[in-house]
Structure 1
Amino acid sequence: MSTSSTSVKGLRVIRRPGITLDHLHQSKEWADLEVHLGSKVYQIHRNIVCTAIPYFKTMMSTNLIETQSNVITINYPHIDCDAFEWLLNWSYSISQQISLSNAKSLLVASDYFQVNSVFQFCCDYLDGVIAVDNVLDIKQWIGTFNVGNLRDKVNKFIAQNFNSIVLTPSFVNQTLEQVTEIITDNNLNVSNEIDVFEAIIRWTKYKHTERNLCTPKLLIHLRWCQLSYDQIINQISKHEIVTSNEDCRQIIIDVLSCLTFESSYNQHSSTWKQPRCQLIKSDTESTDLIVACLASPSTFELSFLDHSTNTFISWLKVNQPLIRENHKAAILGSSLLLIARDCISLNLINGRVYPCPKELRIFDWPDLASGNDCVYVSGGLNGKPSDIVYKISRFDDESFDIIQLPRLKNSRAGHRLIMCDNSLYVIGGRDESNILDSVERFDSEQNKWQIVTPMVTARSAHGVAVHGDRIFVAGGYDGSSFLTDVEEYNPKLDKWIPMTPLIVKGKIVSLIAHQEKLFTFIRSPAKLVQIYDFISKTWSVTEADSLTDDSLIAVTQIPSNFCQKTDEK
């Protein structure tokens, strides 16, 4: 290396060529620390590696024997020599690359040597390359490390792409414990629980001889209540892997007993009846559909609105009669609650009907509101208007968790219940002698109802909806005639503002806020749907040809993924 010089403004500047850290690392010149890892010995520079790698800084700052001898032996068997050399090169400011081939070993090494920045680089890299063919490997690599949001993202990706991932070679090479963890995820994105059964069979067949005894340990985690009897009897119970295993056959017997007889108990019953959350909602942005409930003398059916043709398309038919009166509808878990003078719970996945809690069957025409993973039920008639409010959470189709909230300040029937900005409101209705304009809001912190500003117009049997952070009421009955009045409530200002009135008056079935519009459905004439456009601030009237005056009993909103597989219902 020769000395160079330059002239700057009459001065002579002399430079000696610098020695790079890379040169020091390769030449071992002035190395003063020896590291033994496996069969290899590394000559390194204490000042450099102690600056970059906290493990060595800690060790060299103590009175350990290594400090005196300048020799460190690493006995941790999971440290890969290539990964250690990667860290050394990085310490000497040599550019390094992270790839799928070294990410696992780098995670282990950077965690052991406490190099948090490299550990985070690995996590960020893996976060960006998650794919169907590698996600199970990544899940295994991150193990029990503290990887922040990466583990949640990996688990979410597996749940969302379950049907594709079970077809990869990595899936059939998972252990029993790993497969169990995957199929017990409540968020599996499966259109039908039979997909989970088929994944179990595929895993078992890969090494049938040694895995046959594992099959029943996986079958107990199926959500059997989400399967039809036809699927259980004709697809699962007759499968050769099930018929050849006595424990599998016994599970089928227990399942059928549990699903047929409500009193039958099994230690796995609560799991069998628990729905998959992905059958309820999707992590991708989904559109709620406007769904009408139509009743005939012996059946009722659900139909969803096709906006392009203003026609309700039949989706799910149920062989059970309902009274032809306005029902209140709300989603609870995977079920639709329908309440008027009769009260049922319809499982939207398997199409089965279950009775509602007995506490709700004593009231005629209460109102419902969905919110915070539960349903609120209030008021109604039990000889006279009621002031009772229930909060209902679901455990499974046959059992509910019911909490009674503090009583309303006013007993009410024909009122409306709505959630807005995590607050529960009770609006209008009638008591024993008057139509009400009063509004109550539940204060969850003080656990009591508060009176807020009343509506401009007293009304009962009206429609109510939430759009953004505002509440809208439309129509209703004032004691002598049906109304066209529409109002908007601003909770922050505690103020009601009159809006453009409805075009057609009638008995309101429901008011729905959907895609920057308000949809008003009336019972007669039922074919007419009034639509309010928030941009033009005007109402229009259109016909829904499939509706008839005496058939429409309820309209609500249901996540669109419930309606994706109509033929399977």
Structure 2
Amino acid sequence: MATSCRQRPALQSDSSEQNRFMEKLMAKIFRFYDEQSLTDVTFKVSNPTAHVPAHRLILAAASPYFENLFKGNKGNKPIIEINDIDSDIFERLITFCYTGQALITVTNVGAMLKAAIRLQLDDAITRCVEYLMAHIDEYTLHDAYMLERETRCEILKEKIFEYEIQNFMEISQSDEFLNFDVEKLQRILESDNLNITREEVAFEAIKRWFNYDVAAREKQLPLLIACLRLTQFDADFLLTHIQPLPGCELLAFKAISWISKPEARTKINMRFTEPRGVSAANCNEKTLLVVCSEETEINPKVLQYNKAEGKWQEYASIKYDHYGCRTILKDDNILFIGGNKNGAPSNIVRSWNIRSKTWQNLPAMKQARWRHCVVELDGKIYAIGGREGKINLTEDRAMSSVERYTTSDGWEFVSSLIVGRFDVSAVTFNGKIYTLGGYDTVFNNLKSVECYNPDLNTWTFCADMTECHYYPGTAAHNGHIYVVGDCFRSRAVERYDPQQDTWSKICSLEVGFGCKACVSLDNKLWTIGGTSKSGDKSCVSVYDEENDRWGQKGSSPETDIRSCVVVPVALLTSNE
């Protein structure tokens, strides 16, 4: 009795032999097709009229359309008419059934996709969609939308959605965006992988869509606002921009409550409380890392900031027996430079790896110093000024010396400050170092600013600040240098324009009396630390440059902040 053809042959143990067999078989089949040999069906296709011979078995295996066609009455005919597909497109797709390949171009991809859908050639559909999206700039997004509406192709719909997520900032400015239906826009805004630099981008897109047809879209607006990560905004933004929107009052209230009352969050029903997830744009998401200890305490703590909750959590507790040291981020390490031990200044330099939480000794500075400042410029670490004597002794004075560290040469002196100073702050901007404020040898609080040019190895005076600042928070941000408060008293904030060499005051901190750190993060200016005048509140604040005011982002750590650095979130989670 003959072996049933329904039985599958056993797979050969040698896959390379099987591959060679299949290659020979398919080459033979395609040669039959190319030579029009042993064909058993012919298609008559129009525009222009053409006859396309083929093999029923091959087409039936490639497509359920052909399988059903040949099993039906119409399929018994030697010539079958196809009237709704152009002959060139049809022949290309018949070739695809044999080879898995077809010549797709920008001009024919639309027709190819429609025909592939008609003939139920799933692999050809996928190839057409992939080609179209890879050439979207030539095909145009407008035409892709029209093709998707015409074909209702789910694969194309999903690929366009992925494109919208990845290119949202560009698409939200297009005319097509204004005509998105609310369901489509809602799905986009809900995506955890929406490719935006900050949540305000999504908010501005919603406003643009809403303003295009206010009367028709007023009831739909709350659905879209609820898709935002509202806890990423500060309270002022929520009050100013979200609460006034029709139907969004409760959303704003919930978000403000979430931000200001962490203890009540389990009772607040919100759709989204975490920031958007990792995507191509935000895979480099960054956050704050602070080193906390009192000025005269040793063994500091390192805390990390959760932007979604506006809260701090302990990342590590460090054993370090110097106080009054200064820290700086270098690659994946925090460098602890100088400080005071047992009442005497030190020149020690140690590196603490954020990933492994391990220590490494680095070459010591040439001169012991404490209450100095440190910055990095062009990969080099600078230690600037400080105090050089023991506490409460007459030889303790402000230092003017500056030294620079490179891995190749270690520490070496460079040109000294014009005025010796300690508890000074420093920042780098446009290839130069700016030192700001501090105390001089006789404890005068300083307004003066000096600028170091590494190419000339010289310090020059810049315009004085409008106020004296003692160990202030400083940051370079959006083309300016900001000085925020000081170590104990001031809430004043000043902004320096390096091009004009001028200082101007901006809105003072509402809460932040004695602010300790200032950084640029997510294209915004942040201040960390300090308390209210009554001393009962400390916070993280973010500057709203457009409206010249500060908004609160959450509470500060209870302990005193010695320094703050901006680090990739991935750096803090990679060793978990």
Normalised by the size of structure 2, how large is the TM-score?
0.56
Is the partner of 1:102 in helix, strand or coil?
A: helix
Determine whether 1:85 maps to 2:84.
Answer: no
What's the CA shift string for 1:61-89, capped at 9, x where partnerless? xxx999999x89xxxxxxx9569538449
User: Post-superposition shift, 1:437?
Assistant: 0.9
Letter in 1 for 2:122: Y
Cα RMSD (Å): 5.5
Question: For residue 427 of structure 1, what is the aligned residue in structure 2?
Answer: 337
Question: For residue 8 of structure 2, what is the aligned residue in structure 1?
Answer: none
Q: 2:325 aligns with which of 388, 396, 415?
A: 415
Letter in 1 for 2:386: G
User: Post-superposition shift, 1:435?
Assistant: 0.9
Q: 1:35-74 residue pairs with structure 2 within 5 A?
A: 44=52, 59=62
Q: 1:288-367 residue pairs with structure 2 within 5 A?
A: none
CA distance in 1, matches of 2:325, 2:353: 19
CA distance in 2, matches of 1:389, 1:162: 45
Determine whether 1:390 maps to 2:396.
Answer: no
Determine whether 1:32 maps to 2:39.
Answer: yes
Is the partner of 1:271 in helix, strand or coil?
A: coil
Question: For residue 452 of structure 2, what is the aligned residue in structure 1?
Answer: 532
User: Post-superposition shift, 1:123?
Assistant: 3.4
User: Post-superposition shift, 1:218?
Assistant: 2.9
Q: 1:60-459 residue pairs with structure 2 within 5 A?
A: 81=85, 85=90, 87-88=92-93, 97-99=105-107, 102=110, 105=113, 112-113=122-123, 121-126=131-136, 154-158=164-168, 160-161=169-170, 164-165=173-174, 168-172=177-181, 175=184, 177-181=186-190, 185=194, 187=196, 195=204, 198-199=207-208, 201=210, 212=219, 215-225=221-231, 237=243, 239=245, 241-242=246-247, 250-251=250-251, 254-255=254-255, 257-258=257-258, 261-265=261-265, 266-269=267-270, 271=272, 274=275, 373-378=286-291, 380-381=293-294, 384-396=296-308, 398-405=310-317, 407-408=318-319, 410-444=320-354, 446-459=356-369
User: Post-superposition shift, 1:390?
Assistant: 0.9
What fraction of aligned residue pairs are identical, expressed as a percent? Answer: 14
Answer yes or no: is the 8 Å Cα contact 1:107–1:122 preserved in 2. Answer: no
What's the CA shift string for 1:373-402, capped at 9, x where partnerless? 3433336337x4311231413143542232
CA 1:462–1:226 in structure 2 vs 1: closer, same or farther (change >3 Å)? same
Answer yes or no: is the 8 Å Cα contact 2:349–2:361 preserved in 1. Answer: yes
CA distance in 1, matches of 2:42, 2:374: 73
CA distance in 1, matches of 2:472, 2:111: 59
Determine whether 1:497 maps to 2:503.
Answer: no
User: Post-superposition shift, 1:512?
Assistant: 1.6
CA distance in 2, matches of 1:187, 1:496: 42
CA distance in 2, matches of 1:531, 1:233: 41
What's the CA shift string for 1:137-165, capped at 9, x where partnerless? 799999768999x987653421x236524
Answer yes or no: is the 8 Å Cα contact 1:130–1:154 preserved in 2. Answer: no
Determine whether 1:488 maps to 2:495.
Answer: no
Answer yes or no: is the 8 Å Cα contact 2:148–2:156 preserved in 1. Answer: no
Answer yes or no: is the 8 Å Cα contact 1:512–1:518 preserved in 2. Answer: yes
CA 1:114–1:273 in structure 2 vs 1: closer, same or farther (change >3 Å)? closer
User: Post-superposition shift, 1:44?
Assistant: 4.1
CA 1:89–1:460 in structure 2 vs 1: closer, same or farther (change >3 Å)? farther
CA 1:144–1:399 in structure 2 vs 1: closer, same or farther (change >3 Å)? farther
Is the partner of 1:539 in helix, strand or coil?
A: strand
CA 1:379–1:263 in structure 2 vs 1: closer, same or farther (change >3 Å)? closer
Determine whether 1:548 maps to 2:467.
Answer: yes
User: Post-superposition shift, 1:412?
Assistant: 2.2
CA distance in 2, matches of 1:376, 1:431: 25
Is the partner of 1:175 in helix, strand or coil?
A: helix
Question: For residue 561 of structure 2, what is the aligned residue in structure 1?
Answer: none
CA 1:555–1:254 in structure 2 vs 1: closer, same or farther (change >3 Å)? closer
CA 1:135–1:422 in structure 2 vs 1: closer, same or farther (change >3 Å)? farther
Determine whether 1:514 maps to 2:429.
Answer: yes
What's the CA shift string for 1:41-75, capped at 9, x where partnerless? 9964669x99xxxx969859xxx999999x89xxx
Answer yes or no: is the 8 Å Cα contact 2:435–2:450 preserved in 1. Answer: yes
CA 1:30–1:235 in structure 2 vs 1: closer, same or farther (change >3 Å)? same
What is the number of residues matched between the two proteins? 424
CA distance in 2, matches of 1:444, 1:228: 29
Is the partner of 1:555 in helix, strand or coil?
A: strand
What's the CA shift string for 1:441-495, capped at 9, x where partnerless? 124565311212111111111221122332222211112222222222224x472
Answer yes or no: is the 8 Å Cα contact 1:466–1:513 preserved in 2. Answer: yes
Determine whether 1:558 maps to 2:466.
Answer: no
Answer yes or no: is the 8 Å Cα contact 1:464–1:472 preserved in 2. Answer: yes
Unaligned runs of 5+ in 1: 1-23, 73-79, 243-247, 284-370
User: Post-superposition shift, 1:250?
Assistant: 4.7
Answer yes or no: is the 8 Å Cα contact 1:511–1:519 preserved in 2. Answer: yes
What's the CA shift string for 1:269-312, capped at 9, x where partnerless? 5835859999xxx99xxxxxxxxxxxxxxxxxxxxxxxxxxxxx
CA distance in 1, matches of 2:268, 2:221: 18
Answer yes or no: is the 8 Å Cα contact 2:258–2:264 preserved in 1. Answer: yes
Letter in 2 for 1:498: F
Answer yes or no: is the 8 Å Cα contact 2:106–2:138 preserved in 1. Answer: no
Letter in 1 for 2:450: Q
CA distance in 2, matches of 1:192, 1:119: 29
CA 1:390–1:218 in structure 2 vs 1: closer, same or farther (change >3 Å)? same
Normalised by the size of structure 1, how large is the TM-score?
0.57
User: Post-superposition shift, 1:135?
Assistant: 8.6
CA distance in 1, matches of 2:199, 2:108: 29
Answer yes or no: is the 8 Å Cα contact 2:42–2:53 preserved in 1. Answer: no
Question: For residue 350 of structure 1, what is the aligned residue in structure 2?
Answer: none
CA distance in 2, matches of 1:127, 1:506: 58
Unaligned runs of 5+ in 2: 1-31, 77-83, 390-395, 440-444, 480-522, 525-542, 550-576
CA distance in 1, matches of 2:145, 2:387: 59
What's the CA shift string for 1:195-226, capped at 9, x where partnerless? 35535745885855xx94x5544332334456
CA distance in 1, matches of 2:195, 2:102: 45
Is the partner of 1:504 in helix, strand or coil?
A: coil
User: Post-superposition shift, 1:522?
Assistant: 2.9
Answer yes or no: is the 8 Å Cα contact 1:460–1:477 preserved in 2. Answer: yes
Is the partner of 1:483 in helix, strand or coil?
A: coil
